[in-house]
Chain A
Amino acid sequence: MTPLVSLILKDIAVEMRRRESVISMMMFGLLVTVIFNFAFEPSGAERDLLAPGILWVALTFAGVIGLNRSLAIDLDNDCLQGLLLAPVSRGSLYVGKVVSNFLFMIIAELVIVPLFIIFNDLRLGSELIWLILVVVLGTLGFAAVGTILSAISANTRMREVMLPVLQIPLTIPMIIAAVAATGLLLSEDSAGFGAWVNLIIGFDMIFLIVSYLVFEYVVEE
């Protein structure tokens, strides 16, 4: 078993026992969907216009909730010190965390997105595959940025407040692209979809690489 795999399995084992982040993400994402329904009362054609925005607001806020505890858990019980002493590179620690955060977010989204489609009566045919692609790529970018930022915010006095303050402005280009791509899928004309997906891929790549390089400065003692 490579160190990377054991790091991911460790996070999964912790999550299986606590069941904190996945459940809270699901609930929160669902609640945002419900609140927006009362706030806008979308019907018919409006629904297709509002749906992409509502979906990504729900996923963004749910993601922030889940990421909040991601590194704080390791910091509180001194697990991080053990991890730093282990013979793994700092970069692997980062990649391991990204994979497990990505996994937890995807599990939560497996509940949020279908319910969202049902509640909003979205008619999706073959577009569903493309919607899944956008959600997966968007979630990856969110996890890439969120993992390093949750490591940063875990060191501050106001953890739970600090993460959204750092995370949301930094992920805005990804959110814009994801909302635009989702909107194109729900409209008749899907020209320009590829360009937005490329932007999300670019965002994912850049932040994965840069965060991988600077992660050691965040976790060092």
Chain B
Amino acid sequence: MNLAGPFHLAWRYVARHRVQTLLLAGALGVVLALPVAVRVLVRTAEHQLRARAESTALVAGPRGSETDLMLSALHFRKGADEALRYSVCDALRDSGLAEAIPLHLHFRAQGAPIVGTELEYFDFRHLRVAQGRMITRLGDCVVGARLAREKGLQAGGSLFSSPEQVFDIAGTYPLKMRITGVLASSGTSDDEAIFTDVKTTWLIQGLGHGHDDLVKPENAGAVLSKDKGQVVANASVRMFNEVTDANVASFHFHGDPADFPIHAMIVQPHDAKSEAILTGRYQGNKEVQIIRPKDVLDGLLGTLFRLEGLIVTALALVAGAAAAVAALVFGLSFRMRQREFATLAQIGVGRGTLLLTKGCEVLFIGVAALLIAFGLIFLLRLLADAVIISGLR
């Protein structure tokens, strides 16, 4: 039997009806790709979550959901607003059992989390600056590599923290932060965050501020009264929404920083014994909980894998149904084209050749569907890390 003829005829048919062919192949391709896509995403999520969790011995935070605490401390997902006092961090350090790194996670800028922390965080996560330099003073920030690329941020630029209450004119104003550097890519959630000193996040929160120096003679007109060092000024006093070299000295905090809020802490015990003592010590604490991210993650992944199994089974059923629908579509299409096949038979084309022609059409569409499925999975593999990191935020 001459194979080239049926192959050519089938190819010409699908090429002539390329829109319909692509629609059918695309639909089949997506259905075929879905179960694999779910598997790829789950594996990537597992890898991302596990790598981060295994590199973090303990996390401390306010009482509440352990999963929320793990996701917010490790992946900066915005959780509940409950906070700890900074003094808890000091207490942990003073215990001599562990190093503690505070994390303030309440604010965002351009949709990305602002992580208020201390310089130890960068050493702990092995983060280095790829462009510019590290934060040096109040109001400075460094941005993650992916965020910088996506938003076009670079050292020397600036960022405004997102306003908390748009219609509250007496509320906290957004702070203009100076970008001093861009971090090197780490392939983790750090790539999509903005890092600043924890004091800068307290500044955004309104716990500190900077304004005209009322002691200076040129601002004397703004002073209403002075009484034993207590100065009362009128509304003409300028409040600063940006920290500059010129005004940095005017910024100050009201209250004891030990009482200021943080939302989580990364806790690195000095040894296994210290870890056991710490976890035991905080077990019954009504305000603070200490979790092992790896243990929390194991529970979370167990649920995720069970769900994955169900979803893949459901998608396999959908794929089966789609294959049945595709068979029906082919059947109906061939029936609608009966006249065309009768014409070919009249010319003298044999039944085998006609069957082969139909088979080639099915083959072309099947191959196109497979190529689309492979393409989608390849694309997903490229983007999976970013998809998961964004999804965790």
A and B from one complex? no
